[in-house]
């Protein structure tokens, strides 16, 4: 599990998304920009976070449950898969 560096301050949060409102870009392979950390905060249900390991191309999946969060490092390729009833938001 990746953790946030101590000296970061949030600068933007998304609205809460569910299976109907999640932007398609989040469910396809994407990454944050250089220097931008992402924090996925699940408020209901659960989602699967798939990370791509570069170079080499392997993947790792983790389940993020309601009340927990996952951290995505800058430029780390990943995507999310939502279960029905999942709600989450992102903070950058």
Q: Is the pLDDT of residue 77 over 80?
A: yes
Residue 72 lies in a domain: yes
Mean pLDDT computed over 75-87: 96
Domain that holds residue 67: 24-91
Count of domains observed in the chain? 1
Within a domain: 17: no
4 within domain boundaries:
no
pLDDT (0 to 100) of residue 53: 83
Residue 15 counted as domain residue: no
Residue 1: the pLDDT is 58
**What's the CATH number where 43 sits?**
2.60.120.10
Looking at the domain assignment, is residue 58 inside a domain?
yes
User: Average pLDDT, stretch 82-87?
Assistant: 96
Does pLDDT of 4 surpass 90?
no
Are the CB atoms for 69 and 4 separated by under 8 Å? Answer: no
Q: What pLDDT digit, counting tens, does each position of 19-69 carry?
A: 999 999 999 999 999 999 999 999 999 999 999 987 777 899 999 999 999
What distances in angstroms separate CA 89 from CA 17, 25, 45, 47, one per listed residue? 6, 14, 12, 11
Residue 10's SS3 state is coil
Task: Answer yes or no: is 8 within a domain.
Answer: no
**The pLDDT of residue 16:** 98
Residue 78 counted as domain residue? yes
Q: Is residue 81 part of a domain?
A: yes
State the distance between the two ends of the chain, measured CA to CA, in whole angstroms.
Answer: 17
């Amino acid at each position: 599990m990746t953790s946030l560096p101590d000296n970061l301050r949030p600068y933007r949060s998304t609205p809460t998304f569910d299976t109907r409102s999640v932007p398609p870009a989040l469910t396809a392979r994407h990454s944050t920009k250089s220097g931008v950390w992402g924090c996925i905060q699940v408020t209901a249900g659960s989602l699967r976070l798939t990370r791509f390991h570069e170079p080499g191309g392997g993947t790792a999946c983790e389940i993020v449950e309601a009340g927990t969060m996952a951290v995505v490092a800058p430029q780390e390729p990943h995507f999310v898969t939502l279960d029905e009833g999942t709600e989450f938001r992102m903070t950058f």
